[in-house]
């Protein structure tokens, strides 16, 4: 990862690991149909309305910040996508899962129904396009599915099987409800692990209409 010259306009386009995976299938499924904008590099606390040189310099520190060049890890880039909200919006949408963290015993199941708070004038709402959920290490789950959304994007995403290849162990599903079932495979805990041993990963949820994002830890506990 490096920095781009923020004095010139640069379009730095690359494929993420997920994009490379889709391209490598060579089955015609790789098609770019949408784009998004994000401001991951920006620290808005640097905006200074008390700058001694006047209003033209309030955003000087922000404007002079370096820009990150594009990098291929889609779990670490574009975390803070820009979203269009009604004029006068006073609160940004946030996700509520009902959990700050999740711990499952081997073989246990859980259904998660995300809600979006402060969205389109409602205190709590479901998003029309649903929610994406990315697990950093799909090996810890025996079942990982999204249900309730039938858009082409959701159907294409949800038909991918729970398989891993090399270092590619993350997986994303889309739905209004996300279903999990913890793995029953003991080898993931290591050959010397005893009952009560744990393996950990993360779940990242994104509202596909609002852009609201939330990452929580997921822990699987060995039972036998």
> Could you give the domains of the chain?
1-82 (no CATH), 94-221 (2.60.40.1080)
pLDDT in tens, 163-188: 555 556 888 899 999 999 999 999 98
Mean pLDDT, the chain, whole residue set: 86
Task: Work out the widest C-alpha separation in the chain, in whole angstroms.
Answer: 67
pLDDT in tens, 136-152: 899 999 999 999 998 88
- Helix residue spans in 4-160 (DSSP H): 17-25, 60-63, 152-158
pLDDT in tens, 29-43: 788 887 888 888 888
pLDDT for position 51: 93
Using the predicted structure, report yes or no on whether residue 1 has a pLDDT greater than 70: no
Percentage with pLDDT > 90 across the chain: 42
- Mean per-residue pLDDT for 127-139? 92
**Cα 92 versus chain centre, distance:** 17
**Cα 175 versus chain centre, distance:** 14
Q: Is 125 exposed, middle or buried (0-12, 13-18, 19+ CB in 10 A)?
A: middle
- Mean per-residue pLDDT for 32-57? 88
Using the predicted structure, report yes or no on whether residue 161 has a pLDDT greater than 70: no
φ, ψ dihedrals at 125, nearest 5°: -150, 160
Q: 78, 194 in Cβ contact below 8 A?
A: no
Using the predicted structure, report yes or no on whether residue 135 has a pLDDT greater than 90: yes
pLDDT for position 132: 93
Look at 119 and 219; give whichever has higher pLDDT.
219
pLDDT for position 64: 85
pLDDT for position 22: 79
């Amino acid at each position: 990862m490096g920095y781009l010259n923020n004095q010139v306009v640069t379009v730095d386009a690359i494929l993420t690991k997920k994009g490379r995976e889709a391209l490598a299938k060579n089955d015609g499924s790789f098609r770019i149909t949408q784009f998004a904008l994000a401001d991951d590099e920006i620290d808005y606390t640097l905006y200074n309305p008390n700058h001694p040189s006047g209003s033209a310099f309030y955003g000087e520190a922000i404007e002079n910040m370096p820009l990150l060049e594009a990098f291929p890890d889609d779990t670490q880039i574009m975390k803070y996508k820009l979203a269009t909200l009604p004029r006068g919006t006073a609160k940004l949408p946030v996700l509520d899962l009902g959990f700050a963290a999740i711990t499952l015993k081997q073989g246990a199941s859980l259904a998660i129904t995300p809600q979006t708070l402060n969205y389109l004038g409602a205190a709590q709402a479901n998003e029309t396009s649903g929610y994406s959920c990315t697990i950093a290490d799909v090996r810890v789950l025996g079942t990982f599915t999204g249900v309730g959304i039938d858009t082409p994007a959701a159907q294409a995403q949800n038909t991918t099987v729970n398989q891993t290849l090399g270092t590619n162990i993350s997986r994303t599903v889309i739905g209004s409800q996300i279903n999990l079932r913890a793995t029953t495979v003991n080898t993931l805990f290591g050959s010397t692990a005893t009952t009560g041993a744990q393996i950990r990963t993360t779940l990242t949820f994104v509202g596909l209409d609002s852009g609201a994002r939330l990452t929580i830890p997921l822990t699987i506990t060995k039972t036998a």
